[in-house]
Amino acid sequence: MKSARKITQVSRRFYRREQYHCADCQRRLRRAVTLTERTVIRLDEVIKLVHAGYRCPDAQCAGHQRTYRSVRADALALPWFTYGVDIVLLVGRLRLREHQTVDEIHQELLKRLEPLGVKIARREILYVFEAYCTLLRASSEAKDDVEWLAQVEKNGGIIVSVDGIQPEKGNETVYLVRDALTGRVLCAENVTSSETAVMKTLLAPVVALGVKVIGTMSDAQESELKALEELWPEVPHQVCQFHALRDASQSAFDADKAVKTAMRKKLQPKVRAVRKQIKKHLPTASADEATQLTVLDEYASGMLTALNTDGLQPFTYATVESAPALDEVEASLQQLEKRGRL
């Protein structure tokens, strides 16, 4: 690795609702408001996000009041928090399971965030740990939250969304249960088994709230599906679109990966051989030759980077991503040839 310090890499993302149609009249939802515009720092990336809220376009519809949020946007970080849920869970684990001191946790997080070019202040660790504790108290607080209950009343009920997060290194899963319409965390639980019975126990506080459930959402994990189905058999369920799309794109993704691997196998050794030659010639080359060789080496390095581009399900395909970069290398080389500099 060259330098450990990098400039902050920010991913810009736009989040829309996961439901497309009004739960009451089935009309297509329309973008109505910007719910949040903020930066979220997670362990693997810094995201600048815009979170848009959607509503039923029919003012006469019983569901017109309801704003549909993005569960995925809400899953990134708790409301008002810059540091992501993954960091909240990590801090909770380091403190409670591994009994680390605040200073130790601070050092660990600084180390983890350094490649992203961001930092965290020591006092933030305390806030984040407080957030972790609040999270685990969520279920006892929801039922007393008068303001939130009034909003639920206005929305005509809640949409229960279950999100299982596996903190690294641990064998437990933290389940966050939210109301997809208000984004509120209804309960959070650290479990080591994801059997249907465990899922049902986890969801018991939501049942105990006694509010109307108008829909449920989860990923495609069977025990989650079964628990939701058994608890709310009459209620429509939606598999989180991200998971559904990811599963649907699997075969295309595998095919793309195969093409990419074949390309890399064929080209990488050749490009590497060229680089080796360049390296060998450089010490004895004249100044002009050295400049040319350095330029060639940059091309080779660019090609290797393109060949090592990874895809990300569901929509980012490695070969599609690397094609423009390879085309660029080709076009640039042709240009050079035309100008007679090679």
The interface mask with Zn ion, positions 187-226, x = CB under 5 A, is ----------------------------------------
Tell me which of 25, 96, 296, 326 binds Zn ion, using CB under 5 A: 25
CB contact at 8 A, 135 and 88:
yes
Does 110 bind Zn ion (CB under 5 A)? Our answer is no
Question: Which residue from 29, 56, 105, 217 is in contact with Zn ion, where contact means CB under 5 A?
Answer: 56
Determine which residue in the list 15, 17, 22, 41 makes contact with Zn ion, applying CB under 5 A. Answer: 22
Interacting span for Zn ion (CB under 5 A) from 7-15, 51-59, 142-150, 284-292: 51-59
Cα–Cα distance, 342 to 190 (Å, whole number): 63
CB of 66 closer than 8 Å to CB of 97: no
Cis previous bond, 205, omega within 30: no
Give per-residue burial for 248-263: e unless 16+ CB within 10 Å, then b.
ebeeebeebeeebeeb
Alpha-carbon distance of 156 to 328, in angstroms, equals 54
Residue type, 215: G
The region of 18-26, 124-132, 246-254, 333-341 touching Zn ion under the rule CB under 5 A is 18-26
List own/partner pairs for 279-285 with CB under 8 A and 24 or more apart: none
- Indicate whether 32 belongs to the interface with Zn ion (CB under 5 A): no
Strand pairing class (173-179; 185-191): antiparallel
Is residue 24 part of the contact set for Zn ion (CB under 5 A)? yes
| 50, 61, 252, 295: residue in contact with Zn ion (rule CB under 5 A) | 61
Residue 309 is which amino acid? Answer: T
Among 53, 63, 183, 215, binds Zn ion (CB under 5 A): 63
Give me the 279-318 binding string for Zn ion, x by CB under 5 A, dash otherwise. ----------------------------------------
Q: Which two tokens stand for residue 13?
A: 């993302």
Task: Output 61 or 293, the one with its CB closest to Zn ion.
Answer: 61
Q: Interface with Zn ion by CB under 5 A: which residues?
A: 22, 24-25, 27, 56, 58, 61, 63
